[in-house]
Amino acid sequence: MTTRRFAVAALAALALAGCQKAETGRPAFKGVDLTGAEYARQLNLSDQDGRSRSLADFKGKVLVVFFGYTQCPDVCPTTMAEVAEVKRSLGADGDKVQGIFVTIDPARDTAQLLKSYLASFDPSFIGLRGSDEQTQAAAKEFKVFFAKVPGKTPESYTMDHTAASFIFDTEGRVRVYSRYGAGAEPLAHDIKLLLAENKSSN
């Protein structure tokens, strides 16, 4: 198939997918629609205050869950800043949005460090951490990749990791996979759809 024919076929497939989505009545998310996904159903770790947390604790709110680490130079702070920006832009509805940061570097990301790091973006953000085994289990449940990249010293390593956020509806169901780099506007769009969905069901 030539490049032109491939492009035309791809556009036709996207158009068909759009029609199918409209026919089912499902929201037209700008991120990847994960409605009905068989993963990202559990998350059980301790928060920055040492309390055990699960997805069920946040029912009634739209969750934005991101796996990262506090010494990340770009992806992590940019993502958390965008979530904070969206939360502020929603006004009173911002109280119905909860940012969750799951550390993939529990060796360095202590509870106190997580608390101060997240407070710099939004005081309501929650950091979750666990043992190496618990972190691996959580990442596996979300199909998140991460790996240590050695630095010049044992302490100066960095982490390669999946650069995306998972958005959950107010019933605690994963709905959207939001890729890094899309910006705050698509994130806000999808969160607004989920908030509107909740209002229409009440």
Q: What is the mean pLDDT of residues 43-65?
A: 96
Q: What is the mean pLDDT of residues 20-31?
A: 68
Is the pLDDT at 32 greater than 80, yes or no? yes
Of the given ranges (15-19, 62-66, 192-196), which has the lowest mean pLDDT?
A: 15-19
Q: Tens of pLDDT along 94-108? A: 999 999 999 999 999
pLDDT band, very low/low/confident/very high, at 27 (cuts 50, 70, 90): confident
pLDDT band, very low/low/confident/very high, at 202 (cuts 50, 70, 90): low
Is the pLDDT at 78 greater than 90, yes or no? yes
Q: Which amino acid is at 14?
A: L
Phi, psi (degrees; rounded to nearest 5) at 136: -60, -40
Q: Tens of pLDDT along 82-95? A: 999 999 999 999 99
Confidence (pLDDT) at 171: 95
Question: Do you know the residue count of the chain?
Answer: 202
Instruction: Please give the C-alpha separations between residue 154 and each of 76, 77, 149, 158, 193, in angstroms, as whole numbers.
Output: 22, 23, 10, 10, 45
What is the rounded distance in angstroms from the CA atom of residue 75 to the CA atom of residue 69?
10
Distance of CA 125 to the CA centre of its chain: 12
Confidence (pLDDT) at 25: 63
Domains in the chain: boundaries: 1-28, 31-201
Count of CB atoms situated within 10 Å of the CB of 57: 17
Q: Tens of pLDDT along 141-159? A: 999 999 999 999 998 999 9
pLDDT band, very low/low/confident/very high, at 67 (cuts 50, 70, 90): very high
Q: Tens of pLDDT along 112-127? A: 999 999 999 999 999 9
Confidence (pLDDT) at 26: 72
Quick one: CATH architecture of 31-201? 3-Layer(aba) Sandwich (3.40)
